A = this chain, B = another copy of it.
């Protein structure tokens, strides 16, 4: 028995924000997810289905340190598997001496750890990359990060129960995670090194509780992996089995997703050169990142409200991976010539759950930090841009500029908010603009102005096919057996791509 693990004393759960506004959304009526409760304000990024969504950034920040379940970002590759607590089984097998098949009640009666973890998609802030050049990924804004209190059985405890050999071996070993979702390229799965899973300080758990409730369907009900300090893409949801192996997961998604390729690789070259299998390009730990959340996009301040004593508090979040601490956040109002030291708060350290479990040995930081800095309002008068950068305990920081990559992953350049002056009637106003808005929401300083529209018709991209169509004609091809779209005045028949589209068929 691992003595460092808390015992299940009782089933009461801490008081934390919980789900609200979570009926079934009418938009899901014609999808396989027509039974999944969802918050209506979540911004859908891949059409109606599958559900890939983030909360509006300001709404997310208003929640504070812990994100309510219904506003936590969601990344689904397909329909949500409809699983039952009573009938679901978790298999533990592979290179173990006593393979296990466990019910959820079995798992809930094992020792548990419960603590806050910030989950972040490797694609957080991808829309900024897509504004440079379209990547293969969809338009995450800066809210593909959220924090909840997760409760579950430590994976090292479970693997020891299954008789894993907990010693150095002469070959590498891995833990493979397999989900229950049936996708075009098989089941979603991935793996991490066994050593990582076995090190108690890494806090890897198989979680069945989220903010004091059972997991919502979108977050992996009844059980998912939580691997603190890593990207969300490794934390397999709707977990059906974990397996100890001597090679990495063979899931399509383990190799073909969650990689940062050098900028010269497009999809074709990456596949031709089998670069997906280069271990240097896998993403596991999060990199250093930060964003400005106040001022919000489109926030305005009237110049007539300026008095010399008035201050504005710039705010945002910062995080990094691997349990490292964010040690410093700085804000520049002059394109990085000088930097102002922001006040940093790490609610994780004060959280009752963390205080109860203790922070020794070396504290790990699994959660986002918040930062703020008050500046005199007049600082904005000559300021064209507010930018932020964070530093971590290794004295690394964020890069100044973005580096595009074909999956649009791990974008972590300085986050920049532009400051414009506009006039509205008699008033002069300062207006703040974020780089982008999530999904297809228009706005953001990275958006290039559209060329003026001069015609109502479009032409096909095939040089041999010079037919033209009216918008009304194109609109008729709107179902899964006959689907046309218009991109930059050219008409495409995309019916045969529907099955492989990351947004799915809906």
Contacts and interface: CB of A to CB of B under 8 A. Distances in A.
A70 interface: no
B283 A360 contact: no
A305 interface: no
A426 to B, nearest CB: 40
A343 to B, nearest CB: 12
Given A262-B328, A327-B281, A403-B339, A360 B397 contact: no
Contact of A410 (B169, B264, B395): B395
A172 interface: yes
Contacts of A361: 168, 172, 193-195
What band does the interface of chain A fall in when counting residues whose beta carbon is under 8 Å from B? Answer: 35 or more
Contacts of A284: 393-394
B285 A394 contact: yes
A318 to B, nearest CB: 13
A287 interface: yes
Interface of A: 4, 168-172, 193-196, 201, 260, 262-264, 280-281, 283-288, 321-322, 325, 327-328, 330, 336, 338-339, 341, 358, 360-362, 393-401, 403, 409-410, 412
Contacts of A264: 341
A168 B394 CA distance: 24
B263 A325 contact: no
B287 A394 contact: yes
A270 to B, nearest CB: 13
A324 to B, nearest CB: 9
Quickly give the copy total for this chain.
2
Which of A168, A361, A398, A410 gathers most chain B CB within 10 Å? A361
Contact of A283 (B321, B395, B399): B395
B327 A280 contact: yes
Contacts of A201: 195
Contacts of A395: 260, 283, 287, 409-410, 412
Given A195-B201, A280-B393, A394-B287, A360 B328 contact: no
A156 to B, nearest CB: 13
A394 B280 contact: no
Contact of A330 (B262, B393, B396, B412): B262
Given A262-B341, A361-B168, A396 B193 contact: no
17 contacts: A4-B168, A170-B358, A170-B360, A172-B361, A193-B362, A196-B362, A260-B395, A262-B339, A262-B341, A280-B325, A284-B394, A287-B394, A287-B395, A321-B394, A396-B412, A399-B400, A400-B401
